[in-house]
Amino acid sequence: MNASLAFELSPHDFLVKTDISPIQVSPNTFKGFIANQVDLLMALETPVVIWAKLPRGESWQGEIDRCIALAGGPRSLFLFRNTLEETSDEQTAVQEVLNPLVVDSYRSHATPQDRLVTLHLAGDMLLRREFFFIVWSSQFCNGVCAQRSRLKRGSELSEVENEVAEPPIEPTEKRNQLSLVHTLDPSRIQQLLLRLESLVRSSSFEVTDHLSPEAPYTLSQIVDQWHSYGIQQPLPTSSPQLINQLLGKHLHRQEELWQRSNTYRKQAEIVEVLQIQNEELINTVRAKDEFISNVGQELRTPLTNMKTALTLLNSPNIKPPQRQRYMDLLVKECDRQSSLIGSLLDLVSLDQMAERQTLQPITLSDVVPGVVSTYQPLAEEKGVRLAYTIPEGLPAIACLNPWLRQIVVSLLHNGIKFTPRGGQVWVRAKQQGDYIQLEFKDTGVGIPVQEIPKIFDRFYRVRQIAMDDPGGAGLGLTIVQQLLLRCGGSISVKSRPNDGSIFNVLLPTYQYRDAEKASE
């Protein structure tokens, strides 16, 4: 065969030229296909010759070890290796070492016909992107060739032979796809081996003879010996049973790979869920730590003020007006402390309250008028007009009576507190689909736009400076929001400084069961 012709086509391209259509496979599938053939050879226990150029990596080294350990009489293995690994930046020498224990075991059972040889390829371009696994025996012949795709690096093409191990089956694996051709035709495999022989004779190879390191065979002797294995003898015939067995092994392995991939995917999903739960727990612990820290600071402030007032009251030179001022301060700080403790207890009790299925049908007209009448004296004392509008026939809401009462109390109290004399506070209700909207509107000092997202945070207080008021515990709106969340409602705010505020509360209507409707 003409040497120049051998260099024109690589083993992969040669088989493609013989009208064998290539298929695109993943490195995982390619490895499984080779492993199936090794399984079959181990089961046959027949003399065999293998020519192999496989990717680097521990998983592939395991397949080479299995090939070396094949039983069944004379067998030979010719391994092709690249001496250099070329990357886009440099060339790095790669040292390929066979497992010494496996080689020693092979050597102890080897016959004079056996060969275990590594052919080191220095720089041949045709084989640098090629992988192949060619089997020749009296019962079974098989040829598999695969070729890596060219990878673009900037404006240049880089041909890289990296490790093709067993990456996970992911969309990113598409960039590592291999073009694979496969034949069981002994005549084509014979032509492929003759072409490989011509290529070896015409290229620069270094030989490592693992069985005769002291007196190694030359490259020419090794290639000449290939003919003694029957390559030029009458062609063997692969039985349909062996082909079916190979196909069965391949399908079985692919099913195992699919099951393994499915297991890994489920495990990854579980890990992701656990990570999310762990982050939620960490955030919860961090929030509780911050809450406790804030509680400590909030409790300390009124206690410090009360202690200061008590110290000043003990002064022998204190005047009656000063004494009264300090007494008023004590009363105010005691009220503040009491409000804070009461609000904290309310927050704690929320976690122990009944869930949504215990909600009851509550009519707004049974709660809102009573709360408004309770706050009417306070509004009149401040010179604030207080009114409400609850239309008749509104459907009942799903809530608990104490929850609804606390929501109305907190929002009315805030409205009156931050509305100056001559202002107005009123409550309006109307239906919106499956919800009842309860609007609390005032003409008070309003809230700066940048402060609105923070007003539901625990211990956050606003507007007290403008009103010259020390404010409450900073938990009222937090409790309102939590109560609404527990009954499926929500709250929103519209406000501008000196233009009042509108708190819109949405409460779900109570959905009666069919039996309850029938009994009405």
DSSP of 257-319: HHHHHHHHHHHHHHHHHHHHHHHHHHHHHHHHHHHHHHHHHHHHHHHHHHHHHHHHHT-TT--
Per CATH, which fold does 256-352 belong to? Helix Hairpins (1.10.287)
Q: Is the pLDDT of residue 91 over 50?
A: no
Distance (Å, whole) CA 404 – CA 436: 12
- pLDDT confidence bin for 163, thresholds 50/70/90: very low
Q: Is the pLDDT of residue 89 over 60?
A: no
* CATH match for 3-238 among 3.30.70, 1.25.40, 3.30.870, 3.90.550: 3.30.870
- Record the tokens describing residue 467, joined without a space: 């009103």
Q: Is the pLDDT of residue 257 over 80?
A: no
Could you state, in order of their start, the residue ranges of all structural domains in the chain?
Answer: 3-238, 256-352, 354-520
Task: Say whether 343 sits in a helix, a strand or coil.
Answer: helix
Consecutive H or E run containing 505: strand 501-508
Q: Are strands 490-495 and 91-93 parallel, antiparallel or unpaired?
A: unpaired
Distance (Å, whole) CA 33 – CA 181: 12
Query: Which residues pair with residue 49 across a beta bridge?
Result: 76, 136
Q: Is the pLDDT of residue 442 over 90?
A: yes
Q: Is the pLDDT of residue 2 over 50?
A: no
3-238 and 256-352: same fold?
A: no
Please tell me the class of the 354-520 domain. Answer: alpha beta
pLDDT at position 52 is: 92
338: Cβ–Cβ under 8 A, 6 or more apart, which residues? none
Three-class secondary structure assignment of 194-235: HHHHHHHHCCCEEEEECCCCCCCCCHHHHHHHHHHHCCCCCC
Distance (Å, whole) CA 187 – CA 103: 32
Q: Are strands 75-82 and 115-121 parallel, antiparallel or unpaired?
A: parallel
Q: Tell me the mean pLDDT in the region 165-188.
A: 68
Q: Is the pLDDT of residue 104 over 70?
A: yes
Q: Is the pLDDT of residue 354 over 60?
A: no
> Between these two residues, 57 and 299, which has the higher pLDDT value?
57
- pLDDT confidence bin for 132, thresholds 50/70/90: very high
Give the angle 143-144-147 at the CA atoms, nearest 5°: 140
- pLDDT confidence bin for 105, thresholds 50/70/90: confident
Distance (Å, whole) CA 379 – CA 419: 9
Q: Is the pLDDT of residue 96 over 50?
A: yes
Q: How far is CA 455 from CA 170, 397, 452, in A?
A: 46, 26, 6
Q: Is the pLDDT of residue 160 over 50?
A: no
Is 433 in contact with 490 (CB distance < 8 Å)?
Answer: no
pTM of the model: 0.49
Distance (Å, whole) CA 356 – CA 361: 12
